[in-house]
């Protein structure tokens, strides 16, 4: 992991991820949750295996549209994604 990737992970928190997910929910509500999570993780240079771990932990269908999620579900998604990103980052 490079210094830039590590710095981005350190400066990222669950609120930042929630803002990114909320923006994508508003701009493109018809995209599947798995595609949105992959895009967020790519922008943060985070490990992609956090996406599957997040979906499994919450029991979400990967094909559900991001626009169908309520605010509380989006908040929970951001928190679990943040936690799983940290766990996956520790493994590498």
What's the pTM value of the predicted model, to 2 decimals? 0.82
Note the pLDDT tens digit of each residue in 39-91: 999 988 888 888 999 999 999 999 999 999 999 999 999 999 999 888 877 66
Distance from chain centroid for Cα 84: 9
What are the domain boundaries of the chain?
A: 3-91
Answer whether residue 32 shows pLDDT above 80.
yes
Residue 11 has pLDDT above 60, yes or no: no
Architecture of domain 3-91: Orthogonal Bundle (1.10)
Q: What is the helix (H) or strand (E) element at residue 23, kind and residue range?
A: helix 14-27
Which pLDDT belongs to residue 75?
Answer: 94
């Amino acid at each position: 992991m490079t210094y830039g990737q590590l710095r981005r992970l350190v400066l990222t928190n669950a609120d930042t991820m929630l803002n990114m997910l909320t923006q994508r929910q508003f701009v493109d509500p018809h995209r599947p949750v798995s595609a949105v999570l992959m895009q967020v993780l790519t922008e943060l240079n985070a490990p992609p295996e956090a996406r599957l771990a997040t979906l499994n932990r919450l029991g979400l269908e990967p094909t559900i549209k991001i626009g169908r999620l309520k605010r509380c579900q989006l908040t929970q998604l951001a928190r679990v994604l943040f936690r799983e990103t940290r766990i996956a980052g520790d493994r590498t």
